[in-house]
Chain A
Amino acid sequence: MRFVLRRLGFFVLTLWAALTINFVIPHLLPGSPVISMMARYHGKLHGAALKAVEAELGVDTHASLLSQYAGYLKNSATLNFGTSVQYFPTSVTKMVGPAIPWTLGLVGVTTVLAFVLGTAIGAIAAWRRGGKADSILPPLFVIGTGLPYFWVAIMLIMLFAVINPWFPTAFGSDADITTGWNAEFIGNVIHHAVLPAAAILISSIGTWVLTMRNTMVTTLAEDYIRMARAKGLSSRRIMIDYAARNSILPNLTGFAMSMGFVVSGAVLVEYVFAYPGIGYMLVQAVENEDFPVMQFLFLLITVAVLLAVLVADIVTALLDPRTRSAR
């Protein structure tokens, strides 16, 4: 229980840090893009709306920095993130809402798949240490960790959508298909998701393979493994119940910690495929200089990663008594 409380405390603290970073960046850098943007929107926004945007972007000269910060925290707590300047007067939250399921579906499913597959491959490589699989696979996956996500995406489009037109080059689904829970639409969405999912999978799986292999190699040197062998247990049982089981937990912690990296890569993959998710929207907001949308998306992505970490932490605590006793 104490462990979970500690992690909750950490969650709140990191959230506060992210909020503060989000506030500080525009105030530290009262850069020309903001001022030029404000100049463009002066005709469009009036009264309270203008004031709100000004306060949000740190060009409100009337209020003190501290009171601006207090107002910002209050707005964030009440989920009031202002309005988009590009698509005024749509509220930021309303605008971003439809993009969330796309990203959750694509990035969420692919990340879990990469973790499960990667962990399995890593366990097998460690178990067959010195064998053929272990001499070929790990170096191959090391190379995988060196590939830029967005270039893998471009190459997949080139090979499997342009040269061989097997898959669509972009978007989440075809425009002429009606959205709904029917086989046609779902099939269309899956057909569109294959290449972006493959790009994320190829670029992220290496990390899980390597961490799992390295943890398991260390675990295999433990005395209880030798004990299990001495008892004459079957290899399969030693590999799965003894070695893999004890190596997965550190890998799970690593998984949580690396979520930020994967999500970062996924942003670029979404952009390359013009996939209608959060990442593509973030890049579009940058191109349109739509700062309120951009800042909200940064917060949203951070919160999503934080939640994933929190879940991983609680699962670890439930499964592994050692973490609970750790200070």
Chain B
Amino acid sequence: MATLDMSAQLRAPRRRRIAGANLFASIRGNGKAMAGLLILFVFLVLAAVPQWFAPGDPAASIYGRSLGMSAHHAFGTTAFGQDIMAEMIHGARPALEIAIISGLFATVLSVLIGVSAAYLGGIWDNVLNLLTDVFLIIPTLPLVIVIAAYFGHSGTTVMIMVLVITGWSYGARQLRSQALSLRNRDFLQAARVRGERRSYIIVFELLPTMTSLIVANFLGAALYSILTASGLEFLGLGDPNSVDWGTMLYWAQNGAALQTEQYSWAAVPGLCIALLGTAFALLNSAFDEISNPALRPVRRIRAKRTSS
């Protein structure tokens, strides 16, 4: 998970229409965001049309075993005779599926719990806050391992459920503290005085001002999901017959890839996980900067003087 953003609460609220326009402008002006988007885009293309780049069944063991890198097999083949490049390309879809779906659900849960805690206040705040803290502290991977072990080899649905249950707490805490600081701002007071319903205020007044923090949380949750899911698959707790990066690493480990000098077998899938993770981490950090102007890099004037 990326930065613990203590100071996000200091951000001044913007009006909602301008907020949308500003968001796009901020993304375009942010190097980290653009780098993250570029990596994400490449993986999205691979995930959308893998057969364009690697036709056929990537899991089929139809080639020579443990071939080195060559023109035919850019990254060589596995000890079972599968093309590593083809497996890598087809691994993009399940990875993105898990990251995006569980990231979305975890974010919805964070918003529901975090914002309700801040907005309802009193006993509700205490109870929900306590729940958040408990889930935040319980070490997730051991918990996920225990749950997955009881499910046996878990399919994607089980995996996503477990990731959502264990991944919402961090975001809920951040969103709660931002919502708390926004609660008594003038524009919300005004809405209250106008006699708007509570649900209207939350959905149409409060949430739009929190957009960038919510997006940052989605990216953080997606990062957590991809890293944890690949960890589980690496342990053999995913579906061992699926083609995804974590499972590739599981077979590489079991096939003693390092000891038999099949380095690309262990390096390539992990590099993909790392790249996708990096894309989410970069975007997350960029959105932290967008939601908290104090963190933005200082303008060029000073940087130029030091470099020239």
A interface list, Cβ under 8 A from B: 10, 13-14, 17-18, 21-22, 25-26, 29, 31-34, 129-132, 134-135, 138-139, 142-143, 145-151, 154-155, 157-158, 162-163, 169, 207, 210-211, 214-215, 217-218, 221, 250, 254, 257-261, 263-265, 267-268, 271-272, 282-283, 286-287, 289, 291, 294-295, 297-298, 301-302, 305-306, 309
Contacts and interface: CB of A to CB of B under 8 A. Distances in A.
Given A13-B134, A31-B151, A146-B278, A282 B142 contact: yes
Given A286-B149, A298-B143, A302-B139, A146 B306 contact: no
Contacts of A21: 138, 143
Can you list the 9 inter-chain pairs with the closest CB atoms, starting with the nearest?
Answer: A264-B141, A151-B270, A146-B277, A146-B281, A146-B278, A130-B298, A260-B139, A254-B4, A218-B7
Interface stretch (B106-114, B191-199, B230-238): B230-238
B140 A260 contact: yes
A32 B151 CA distance: 8
Contact of A139 (B32, B279, B303): B32
Contacts of B237: 286
A158 B4 contact: no
Contact of A214 (B263, B274, B288): B288
28 contacts: A14-B138, A31-B151, A32-B152, A33-B152, A129-B298, A130-B297, A131-B303, A131-B306, A132-B306, A142-B285, A146-B274, A148-B227, A148-B230, A157-B258, A169-B258, A211-B3, A211-B4, A214-B5, A254-B4, A254-B6, A268-B234, A268-B235, A286-B149, A291-B149, A294-B149, A297-B142, A298-B145, A305-B139
Contact of A162 (B258, B282, B302): B258
What is the interface of chain A mostly: helix, strand, loop, or mixed? helix
Interface string B267-285: 1001101101111111001
B3 A210 contact: yes
Contacts of A26: 150
A29 B303 CA distance: 58
B184 interface: no
A19 to B, nearest CB: 11
Given A158-B266, A211-B4, A143 B281 contact: yes
Interface in B224-256: 227-228, 230-231, 234-237, 249, 253
Nearest to B271: A151
B235 A147 contact: no
A10 B130 contact: yes
B57 interface: no
Contact of B223 (A130, A138, A146): A146
B138 to A, nearest CB: 6
